[in-house]
Structure 1
Amino acid sequence: MDTTQLAVRAGTPVAADPRRWKALVLLCTANFMVILDSQIVILGLPSIARDLGMTPAGAQWVIGANLVTFGGLLLLGGRASDLLGRRRMFIAGTALFVVVSLLSGLAWSAEVMVVARALHGVSAALMAPTALSILTTTFPEGAERNKALAGWSGVGGIGATAGLLVGGGLTSGLGWEWIFYVNVPVALVMLALAPVLLNESHDRERRRGYDVAGAVTSTAALVLIVYAVVEAPKAGWLSGQTIGLAAAAVALLVVFVAVERRSAAPLVPLRILRSPALVGGNLVTVLLGMLAVGLSVTISQYAQQLLGYTPLEFGVKQAVMPVMAFVGAYAGQAAVTRWGYRPVAAISVVLMGVGALLLTGVSPGGGYVQDILPGLLVFGPGLGAGTVAASAAALAGVAERESGLASGFNTAAFQIGGALGVAVVSTVMVAQAAGPDPAAAFPAAFTACVVFAAAGLALALLLLRRSARR
C-alpha cells in the first residue's frame, strides 16, 4: 500500500499529484504508439511480403501473430502489473517494444518477421493494460478520470488514422523498414520519462504468490479464441478447426475457473466478475471493437477497391472519423460525469448504428461526399463517447490493487471485439462477392455493423442498469 492509500485511510486530505497531466500525456503516447504500430503494418504488408518472399497466407501472419499474442497475453500482462509493479512492467514492455521494432525493421526472412511481430504483441500486452492501469490509479474515479479516459480514447483514434497516413508515406518514400524504425526514438523518450513522471504502485497487501496454473490456462484459452476467430473466415465458421479450437478454449476456461476457486493467490479473484458494471462495460466494449474495426476494414476496402483511392488518399479522407471521435470522447466524458455511463453508452451505439446504416447505401459509382462522409460524421462521435462510457463502467469501483487486472480485461475486450468484427465482415463480404453482384459485398458488410450496434444497445440497456452518476 502506498502513502496515498495510507493517507486516505487515515482521513488525511491528499494533494493531487502535480505531474498527473504530464503523466497522462506519456500514457496516451504509449496507447498511440501501440495502435499506430498495428495500423501502420497494414499498409506496409504488400511491400514486406514482396521483399521477404512471403505467400499470401504467410503474409497474413505478420498481422495474425501480433493479434494472437497481444489478445492472448493482455489478462496476464494486466495482472502482472498489479503484482510486480505498474511502472516496472510499463518500462519492461516499452523496452521490449524498442527491441522488436528494431528486429522487425532488420528482418531478413519471413520467419524472423513473424517472430518479431509475435514478440511485438507481447510488448503491447505489457504496455497497453499497464498504461491504462496507471491512468486509473493516478486519476480518482469521477470527473478527472473521465477526462483522462477521453484523452486516452481520442488519442487512440488519432493513432489509427496516423497509421494510415504515416504508413503510406514511409513505405513509398523510405521503404517498409522505416514503419518500424519510426517507433524507436519515441519509445526511447518514453523510457527516459517513465521514471520521472510515473509513480510506482502495486498490491502490497497481497502475498507474493503466482498462480501458474491460472496463468497458463487463461492465456491458452485467450490465444485459442483469438486464433480461432482470425482463421475462421478462411477455415469456415462451422469447420472442424474452428469448432475444435472453440471447444478447446471453452474447456480451458472451465479448468481456469476451477483452478481459481481453489487457488490461495488466484490470478483472477472470481468476486471481481460479480460486478455488473465491469461485466457490462466489457461486453459493450467487445461490441464497440466489432463496430470500430469491422466498419474501418469495410470502408477501407470499398474506398480503395471500388472508388480507386490510394492508401494515402483514403487516410486523408477517412481522418474525419477519428477527429469526430476525439470530439465525441470529450463530450462523452462530461455526459458520463453528469448522467452516468448507461445513457451515454446507449446513445453512442445508436449513433454508430445510424452511421453504419447511412453507409449501407454505398455504390460502385458513388463518391466520398455523398456516400462516405455522412456516415463518418455520425459514427465518429458515437465511437468516442461510447469508448469513454464503456471504459468508465468497466473500471468503476475496482480496487486499486486490481486495477491492472480490470485494465487487462477492458483492453482484451476491445481487441477480441476487433478480431471478431474483422472476421464477421470478411465472411459476409466473401459470401456476397461470390454472388451475381460482387459490389453488394460492401452494403452487406455495413449491414452487419448495424446488427453489431443493435446488440450493443441491448447490452448497454440490460447490463448497465445499475450505473450511477458520479
Structure 2
Amino acid sequence: MTHTDSLKETPASEAGARPGLTLAAVAVVQFMVSLDLSVVNVGLPQIRTDLGFSEVGLTWVIHAYALTFGGLLLLGGKIADLFGRKRMVLIGLTVFGIASLLGGFSTEPGHLVAARAGQGIGAAALAPAALALLTATFPSGRERVKAFGVWSAVNAAGAAFGVLIGGLLTEYAGWEWVMFVNVPMVIVAVTLAWRGIVADGPRTQRGRPDVLGAILATAGMTLLVFGVVRTDRYPWTSSTTLLTLAAAVVLLVAFLFVEKSTSRDPLIRLSLFRNRSVAGANLFVLLLGGAMASAFFFISLYLQRVLGSSPAKSGVEFLPFAFGVVLGSVLAIKLGGTLAPRMVLTIGGLLTGVGFAYFSLFTADGSFAVDVLGPSLIASIGIGLCLAPMASLGTSGVEEHEAGSASALLNSSRQIGAALGLAALGTVANARTGDSGTMEALTDGYALGMLIGAVIVAVGVLIALAVLPRTSPDTEAGGHH
C-alpha cells in the first residue's frame, strides 16, 4: 500500500469509529486547552499578591503558556503523524494534568511560570492531533462545516467561560484552583478520548520530525516577547533591548533556513504559504489572537482594579461576552451556507474592531452597564463569527498529508499572536499608566491598549480582504479532502 493510499483510507476508518464520539472527545480537549488561555486572568490580582509578582512579570503567567503552546504546536503535529494521533492526545493530556497539579502547589513566581509552560507543552501535543482527527473524520461537505462550527464554538466557549470559572474559583476556593480544576477535566477527557478515538498507527513515513526547527522557533519567539516586555525598564533604543530583539530575529531567520534546507521532515513546508487561504487565515488569526488576548487581560483588570468587582463578580460580568462568542459561532454556521467564508470573516472582524474601539471609551468612574456590557456583546459576536471560517480557510485547499501541518500552523499563529500582542500592548498600557497608580491612570492605560487592539483587528480585516480568495474553500478543497 502506498502512502497516498493509506491516507485515502484514513477518513473512512476513523468515520467507522463513531464520528459523534470522536467529535465529543475533540470538543472536550479543545475546551480545556482554550479554557487555560483565560481561566487564570481573573485570578491574576490575587496571584500577584500571594506569590509576589511584579506588574509586568505577571504577564508571564500568560506568556509561558502561550509561548510553549504556540512554539511547539508544529512539532506536536509532526509527532502525532509519526506516532499516532490517539497516542499523542493521551500523552498530552497526562503532561497537561501533571503540570496543572504542580502549578496549584506553587509557592513562588518561578514555580507557577514553569507549570504554565508545562501546560503549554501538553497542549501543544493535544491540539494539532485533535484538530487533525476532526479534519480526517469530517473530510468534506455540510458535516465538515457543522463539525468545524462545533469545534469553533467550544474553542470560543472555553476561552470565554474560563474567565467565569476562574473568577468563581479564585474567590471561593483560592487562585490555586484555577490550576487544580484541570485535573478532573483531564480525567474526563482521557475517558472520552480512550472510548471515542480509534487507535491509529503512524500516518506518515516521510522522515524524522525537525526538533532543531522547533527549538529555534520557540527560543526566537520567547526572546522576541521578552525583549518587548522589558521595554518598561529598558527603552526601545537601549542596547539591551536592541541586542535581545536582534538575537530573536537571528534565531527566527535560522528557523526559516532550517525549514528550507533540513533533511528531516520540516515542521512547515514554506511553499504552503503560496496557498492564499492558508496565508490569509494565518495572518488574520495572528493579529486577532494578539488583540483578543490583550482584551481579556485589560477588561479583567479594569473590572477588578478600577470598578472594584470581586473575582467572582468579574467572572459573572464576562458571561455576556461568553454567550456572544457562542452566538457568533452559531451565526457563522448559518451564514456559511450563503456567504463565502471570506465575507463572514470580514463581517466578524469589523464587529470585533468596533467592539474593541467602544471598550477604549471606558472611564475611571464608569460602570459595568455603561462601559462594559455594550462593547462586550458587539466584540464577542464578532469574534464568534470569525472562528469557524478561520479554521475552515486555514485548512482549505491543502493536500491530505499536510492537513495536520496546516491545522498546527493555524493554532500556532493564534498562540504566538496572543503572546506578542499581550507583550506589546501590555507594555504600552503600562507606559501610559506610569507610576502614579491612580484609577484615572490605570483606565487610560487599559483604554489605550483596547484602542490599539481595535486598530490591529482592522488591519487584519484589510489583509483578509486583500489576500483571501473570493470563492468558498469547500469548493477549492473538495478534491483534496
TM-score, with structure 1 as normaliser: 0.89
- What aligned pairs does 1:52-67 form with structure 2 within 5 A after superposition? 52=51, 60-67=59-66
DSSP 3-state at the match of 2:264: coil
The verdict on how the C-alpha distance between 1:335 and 1:107 changes in structure 2, with shifts beyond 3 A counting, is same
The verdict on how the C-alpha distance between 1:242 and 1:371 changes in structure 2, with shifts beyond 3 A counting, is same
2:81 alignment partner in structure 1 = 82
DSSP 3-state at the match of 1:339: coil
The verdict on how the C-alpha distance between 1:83 and 1:65 changes in structure 2, with shifts beyond 3 A counting, is same
DSSP 3-state at the match of 2:41: helix
Deviations 1:173-197 (A, max 9, x none): 3333333222112212222232321
TM-score, with structure 2 as normaliser: 0.87
**1 CA distance for matches of 2:118 and 2:149?**
29
Give the Å deviation of 1:400: 2.9
1:131 alignment partner in structure 2 = 130
The verdict on how the C-alpha distance between 1:25 and 1:350 changes in structure 2, with shifts beyond 3 A counting, is same
Whether the 8 Å contact between 1:277 and 1:394 is mirrored in structure 2 is yes
Give the Å deviation of 1:18: 6.2
2:469 alignment partner in structure 1 = 465
Give the Å deviation of 1:462: 0.7
Whether the 8 Å contact between 1:91 and 1:191 is mirrored in structure 2 is yes
The verdict on how the C-alpha distance between 1:142 and 1:449 changes in structure 2, with shifts beyond 3 A counting, is farther
Deviations 1:47-72 (A, max 9, x none): 44555565666655444333332222
1:391 alignment partner in structure 2 = 391
Whether the 8 Å contact between 1:285 and 1:413 is mirrored in structure 2 is yes
Give the Å deviation of 1:5: 5.5
**2 CA distance for matches of 1:453 and 1:442?**
17
Query: Does structure 1 residue 429 correspond to structure 2 residue 433?
Result: no
Give the Å deviation of 1:280: 0.8
The verdict on how the C-alpha distance between 1:46 and 1:337 changes in structure 2, with shifts beyond 3 A counting, is same
Equivalent position amino acid for 2:161 in 1? A
The verdict on how the C-alpha distance between 1:452 and 1:308 changes in structure 2, with shifts beyond 3 A counting, is same
The verdict on how the C-alpha distance between 1:140 and 1:43 changes in structure 2, with shifts beyond 3 A counting, is same
Whether the 8 Å contact between 1:75 and 1:219 is mirrored in structure 2 is no
1:351 alignment partner in structure 2 = 351
**2 CA distance for matches of 1:99 and 1:441?**
37
Query: Does structure 1 residue 319 correspond to structure 2 residue 316?
Result: no
DSSP 3-state at the match of 2:194: helix
Aligned-residue Cα RMSD (Å) equals 3.1
**1 CA distance for matches of 2:100 and 2:33?**
11
Give the Å deviation of 1:410: 0.8
Give the Å deviation of 1:92: 0.7
Q: Which moved more, 1:307-316 or 1:319-328?
A: 307-316
1:448 alignment partner in structure 2 = 452
1:407 alignment partner in structure 2 = 407
Deviations 1:285-328 (A, max 9, x none): 01211222222222222222332222221221221112111111
Q: Which moved more, 1:427-436 or 1:20-29?
A: 427-436
- What aligned pairs does 1:12-27 form with structure 2 within 5 A after superposition? 16-17=15-16, 19-27=18-26
Whether the 8 Å contact between 1:349 and 1:386 is mirrored in structure 2 is yes
Gaps of 5+ in 1: none
Whether the 8 Å contact between 2:163 and 2:318 is mirrored in structure 1 is no
Query: Does structure 1 residue 253 correspond to structure 2 residue 252?
Result: yes
Whether the 8 Å contact between 1:96 and 1:123 is mirrored in structure 2 is yes
Give the Å deviation of 1:283: 0.5
2:97 alignment partner in structure 1 = 98
**1 CA distance for matches of 2:433 and 2:57?**
23
Equivalent position amino acid for 2:450 in 1? F
Deviations 1:143-193 (A, max 9, x none): 322322222222233223332222233233333333322211221222223
Identity of aligned residues (%): 36
- What aligned pairs does 1:123-272 form with structure 2 within 5 A after superposition? 123-201=122-200, 204-232=203-231, 235-267=234-266, 268-272=268-272
**1 CA distance for matches of 2:216 and 2:427?**
29
- What aligned pairs does 1:372-391 form with structure 2 within 5 A after superposition? 372-391=372-391
The verdict on how the C-alpha distance between 1:144 and 1:222 changes in structure 2, with shifts beyond 3 A counting, is farther
Whether the 8 Å contact between 2:96 and 2:120 is mirrored in structure 1 is no
Deviations 1:330-380 (A, max 9, x none): 211332343222111111111111212322332223222232222122111
- State how many pairs are aligned: 469
**2 CA distance for matches of 1:401 and 1:217?**
24
1:420 alignment partner in structure 2 = 420
Whether the 8 Å contact between 1:344 and 1:386 is mirrored in structure 2 is yes
**2 CA distance for matches of 1:355 and 1:50?**
31
Give the Å deviation of 1:7: 9.2
**2 CA distance for matches of 1:210 and 1:3?**
17
The verdict on how the C-alpha distance between 1:27 and 1:304 changes in structure 2, with shifts beyond 3 A counting, is same
DSSP 3-state at the match of 2:247: helix
Q: Which moved more, 1:361-370 or 1:81-90?
A: 361-370
Whether the 8 Å contact between 1:75 and 1:409 is mirrored in structure 2 is yes
The verdict on how the C-alpha distance between 1:336 and 1:241 changes in structure 2, with shifts beyond 3 A counting, is farther
Equivalent position amino acid for 2:25 in 1? L
Q: Which moved more, 1:455-464 or 1:115-124?
A: 115-124
Deviations 1:259-287 (A, max 9, x none): 33333333222332221111110000012
DSSP 3-state at the match of 1:43: coil
**2 CA distance for matches of 1:207 and 1:464?**
30
**1 CA distance for matches of 2:87 and 2:420?**
32
Deviations 1:16-54 (A, max 9, x none): 446222222221211221232332333334444555565
Whether the 8 Å contact between 2:429 and 2:446 is mirrored in structure 1 is yes
Give the Å deviation of 1:464: 0.3
Give the Å deviation of 1:101: 1.8
Whether the 8 Å contact between 2:43 and 2:311 is mirrored in structure 1 is no
The verdict on how the C-alpha distance between 1:404 and 1:239 changes in structure 2, with shifts beyond 3 A counting, is farther
Whether the 8 Å contact between 2:355 and 2:378 is mirrored in structure 1 is yes
Equivalent position amino acid for 1:313 in 2? K
**2 CA distance for matches of 1:199 and 1:147?**
21
The verdict on how the C-alpha distance between 1:354 and 1:55 changes in structure 2, with shifts beyond 3 A counting, is closer
Whether the 8 Å contact between 1:170 and 1:178 is mirrored in structure 2 is yes
DSSP 3-state at the match of 1:95: helix
1:305 alignment partner in structure 2 = 305
Give the Å deviation of 1:385: 1.1
Gaps of 5+ in 2: 475-481
DSSP 3-state at the match of 2:397: coil
The verdict on how the C-alpha distance between 1:337 and 1:88 changes in structure 2, with shifts beyond 3 A counting, is farther
**2 CA distance for matches of 1:155 and 1:219?**
27
Whether the 8 Å contact between 1:277 and 1:466 is mirrored in structure 2 is no
